[in-house]
Amino acid sequence: MNRFSTLANMSRLLVRFVAGPLCDRFGPRLVFIGLLLCGSIPTAMAGLVTNAQGLIALRFFVGILGGTFVPCQVWCTGFFDKKIVGTANSLAAGWGNAGGGIT
């Protein structure tokens, strides 16, 4: 079972490396949309998994959703004044991680 979590973490890490430059080029909104679409389709198909290979593939693609952290931070940075941007980013990151921990 540990392999499944490792694959999710690996895809999350890979997406986070790529998401930053993509946000610089296309903006955080389009990157957010792309990541959510790439992660939502496998999530919607989770009920169709019948074997370990399917679960492994599912965990990899669902891990993509963890990469939404990067466009979220870019978006928050653009929304708030530099006097409070640190507080805004920490709240957005903290609540995002808390939500992931609860689920």
Q: How confident is the model at residue 17 (pLDDT cuts 50, 70, 90)?
A: very high
CATH of domain 2-102: 1.20.1250.20
Tell me how far apart the terminal alpha carbons of the chain are, to the nearest angstrom.
Answer: 18
Instruction: Provide the 8-state DSSP code for 27.
Output: -
What are the tokens at 52?
A: 């370990």
Report whether 101 contacts 81 (CB < 8 A): no
In the prediction, which pLDDT does 90 show?
A: 83
For residue range 61-74, list pLDDT tens digits in order.
888 888 888 998 88
pTM value is 0.76
Residue in the structure block whose two tokens are 């990469």: 67
What are the tokens at 17?
A: 């490396």
